[in-house]
Amino acid sequence: MAVSGLRLFYSAVLKRPVEDLQGCLPRTRQPKRRPRVYSREELAQLFAACQDWRFRPFLLTVYGAGLRLNEACHLRVADIESNRMMVRIERGKGAKDRYSILSPWLLEELRAYYRCCRPKHWLFPSRRDPARPMIAGTAQKLFCEALQKAALPNRGGIHCLRHSFATHLLEEGCDLITLKKLLGHSNFVTTANYIAVTRERLRGLPSPLDPPCSPEAS
């Protein structure tokens, strides 16, 4: 309210452009939204419901390697390094290269997909033009269709698979430094946001009603 009053005074009374106040007044606090994730059971239900044999490997790759949508669309066949069991991401967010993990199950799925589709350059090419990568809008549309078939709610689009990847790794005991490298975060605080949504950490916290405060203890 104080900031709004100062802006009004500056523009209406002093007749000066509000742009001159940039950097002088505190910014309005933006609400912090925690990542929304799917449970392992829900993901198994989603993958089972996805009957599109060309799009199912795409979903598995996004979740299994924790990729952003644009990164998954621009994966090349050569980026799947099976000898090292790693996925190479070139020019991700911030034009940074990194590696992520490649699970044996995902590798088998991708090999079966490759035998059927035989992609040449892009691992997941556009259906209309194989010389170009999959369009992000197409991937989002197919993801929503898979959610409907699996009777699951939409919790923020396909990016929730990346959130689920990070959350489940933390629940399995992955440290934040390793997770930061896998996700390609520049800021450590961004990675630390996933701590708030890990079920195992919440389960281990004692309640104030636990002994010695519980009625049974008295």
Candidates 88, 155, 159, 180; catalytic one: 159
Told to judge if 162 belongs to the known catalytic residues of this protein, a careful annotator would answer: yes
Candidates 93, 98, 149, 155; catalytic one: 93
Q: How far is CA 218 from CA 103, 202, 208, 214, 215, in A?
A: 51, 26, 14, 7, 5
Candidates 38, 63, 113, 194; catalytic one: 194
Cross-strand bridge partners of residue 76: 122
CB neighbourhood size of 20 (10 A): 11
The contacts of residue 162 (CB under 8 Å, 6+ apart) are 62, 63, 66, 67, 68, 183
Q: Among candidates 41, 42, 39, 40, which has minimal Cα distance to 152?
A: 42
Told to judge if 194 belongs to the known catalytic residues of this protein, a careful annotator would answer: yes
Candidates 68, 74, 163, 168; catalytic one: 68
Candidates 74, 162, 163, 168; catalytic one: 162
User: CA angle at residue 19 from 13 to 22, to 5 degrees?
Assistant: 110
DSSP class of residue 13 equals: I
Told to judge if 10 belongs to the known catalytic residues of this protein, a careful annotator would answer: no
Told to judge if 185 belongs to the known catalytic residues of this protein, a careful annotator would answer: yes
Q: How far apart are the first and last CA of the chain?
A: 49
Told to judge if 163 belongs to the known catalytic residues of this protein, a careful annotator would answer: no
User: CA angle at residue 103 from 46 to 58, to 5 degrees?
Assistant: 45
Catalytic machinery residues: 68, 93, 159, 162, 185, 194
